[in-house]
Amino acid sequence: MKHIIKIMSLLVSVSAFWISLLLTSIIPESYTLLLPIYLIVSLGCYGLLMVGIGLMRFPTCPYESVLLQQDIVEAKEFLKENEVDVGSD
C-alpha cells in the first residue's frame, strides 16, 4: 500500500508541474505538450538500462551448481535402481 501512495504522489506532482508549465508559458507550448512522451521514453530507457545492468551483474552460484549436480547424480542412480532408462552418461 505504501508503494502505491508513493507512485500516486509522484504522478500527481509530475502532473502538477506539467500543468503549471502549460499555464505559465515558460516553455513553448509545442515543447510542453511533448514532455509526457519524453518522460515515458526516458523511463523506458532507464528500465532497459537497469535490466541490462542486472543481467551483466547476475550473480553466479558455484555452491548451488555443485548441489544441483549432486542431485542429478542421485536422481540418475535412483532411477537406475528402479530400472528406468535415463539415457547415456
Quick one: cell of 38? 519524453
83/34 Cα distance (integer angstroms): 68
The three-class DSSP label of residue 70 is helix
User: How much is the pTM?
Assistant: 0.51
12/31 Cα distance (integer angstroms): 20
Sort residue 61 into left (φ over 0), alpha (ψ -120 to 50) or beta.
beta
pLDDT digits (tens, 9 = 90+) for 38-49: 889 999 999 999
pLDDT of residue 55: 84
Quick one: cell of 20? 503549471
Q: What is the pLDDT along the chain (89 residues), one digit of tens a residue?
A: 688 899 899 889 988 988 888 888 888 888 888 888 988 999 999 999 999 988 888 777 788 888 999 999 999 999 988 888 777 65
